Amino acid sequence: MRRHLEATIETFPIAGLFTISRGSKTEAEVITCTIREDGFSGRGECVPYKRYGESLDGVLSDIHSIAEAVDSGLTREELQTRMKPGAARNAVDCALWDLEAKRDGLRVADLIGAASQKPLVTAFTLSLGEPAVMAADARRNAQRPLLKIKLGTEDDESRLRAVREAAPNARIIVDANEGWMEENLSHHMAVAAELNVSLIEQPLPAGKDAALANIRRLVSVCADESVHATKDLESLRDRYDAVNIKLDKTGGLTEALAMKAEAQRLGFLVMLGCMVGSSLAMAPAVLLAQDADYADLDGPLLLAKDRPTGLRYEGSLVYPPDPDLWG
């Protein structure tokens, strides 16, 4: 067995501007990890996230630091204890899954017991903006069955009402990105309930979300920044009804599989989410989302240019990946 790990930074332009409560960006900066072995190659993609203390250079350095061990035959199981959860481990873990499938002539879907693959409805994200701008964006996408709107301002009510008026038939997920406060939580939740919002994602800052246990949650609340790995789940049961599983948080498909199983056992609704990346980053999550309650895997739909062998999207339907892409 001869292995070789490589990791490179790649950039994909975003169609327009992607804005959340923490800022805006015009391109998706990702790291692609490739592991070659005896004529086969597996790939994984991660998106370093500044909110979690990650940077492109730091994540790239973390991946390179494990290269010698991977080249010497490090397994996925061993990787879980050699690297901490996060973007770097995600890229390596997914590359190892892809390599194993290609080397053994199998599909990752078969390996994880998800052989019956089908297209999924994914949420489509509307960036944060002025109410009129968000309404216009919602009107252009009103035919989509599930919209996710970014909020987290001092006047979220007007934005939410504008979007609901522009897309009266769509299911709506609100993502406050930790932008609400305990003082306005009940008000925002009442407005969301009035407008038939399906889910509210991370309304309060991680570590400052105890108030969620002491109010009547009129709309189901989903943890994102508050939950990273399986060990976090038990402590969140009094505050959240759902969890957003992202491979860049869990550190790859291996931990995400365990986390999803435990979340479902504990009675959480499960969302499979993503950072803004290419189809390579979405592919493992599409397989994992087959029996999830929500899929939020629209990263490539937000790009001006995706990978050549990207995922197939038809409207808001996303199809399982072809082997040429991943898995």
- The reported pLDDT for the residue numbered 113 is 85
User: Does domain 120-318 sit in CATH 3.20.20.120?
Assistant: yes
Arithmetic mean of pLDDT, 279-292: 97
22 has a pLDDT exceeding 80: no
- Rounded CA-CA distance 176/104 in Å is 43
- Rounded CA-CA distance 166/187 in Å is 22
Arithmetic mean of pLDDT, 291-312: 96
- The reported pLDDT for the residue numbered 1 is 65
- The reported pLDDT for the residue numbered 58 is 98
Arithmetic mean of pLDDT, 11-32: 89
Q: Provide, rounded to the nearest whole percent, the portion of the chain with pLDDT above 90.
A: 94
- The reported pLDDT for the residue numbered 18 is 87
203 has a pLDDT exceeding 90: yes
Show me where the domains of the chain are located: 3-106, 120-318
243 has a pLDDT exceeding 70: yes
- Rounded CA-CA distance 290/118 in Å is 7
The overall average pLDDT reported for the chain is 96
Same fold, 3-106 and 120-318: no
Q: List the catalytic residue out of 102, 148, 246, 260.
A: 246
Arithmetic mean of pLDDT, 54-72: 97
- The reported pLDDT for the residue numbered 23 is 78
Q: List the catalytic residue out of 50, 84, 118, 150.
A: 150
**What is the 3-state secondary structure of the chain?**
CCEEEEEEEEEEEEEEEEEECCEEEEEEEEEEEEEEECCEEEEEEECCCHHHCCCHHHHHHHHHHCHHHHHCCCCHHHHHHHCCCCHHHHHHHHHHHHHHHHHHCCCHHHHCCCCCCCCEEECEEECCCCHHHHHHHHHHCCCCCEEEEECCCCCHHHHHHHHHHHCCCCEEEEECCCCCCHHHHHHHHHHHHHCCCCEEECCCCCCCCHHHHCCCCCCCEEECCCCCCHHHCHHHCCCCCEEEECHHHHCCHHHHHHHHHHHHHCCCEEEECCCCCCHHHHHHHHHHHHHCCEECCCHHHHECCCCCCCCCEECCEECCCCCCCCC
Q: Which residue has the tokens 């490179």?
A: 8
Arithmetic mean of pLDDT, 299-324: 96
Q: Provide, rounded to the nearest whole percent, the portion of the chain with pLDDT above 70.
A: 99
Arithmetic mean of pLDDT, 231-250: 97
What's the pLDDT tens digit per position in 204-237? 999 999 999 999 999 999 999 999 999 999 999 9
pTM metric for this prediction: 0.96
CATH superfamily for domain 3-106:
Enolase-like, N-terminal domain (3.30.390.10)
- Rounded CA-CA distance 135/161 in Å is 9
**150 belongs to the catalytic site:** yes
Burial call 162-191: b when 16+ CB within 10 Å, e when fewer: bbbebbeebbbbbbbbbbbebeebeebbeb
Arithmetic mean of pLDDT, 32-43: 97
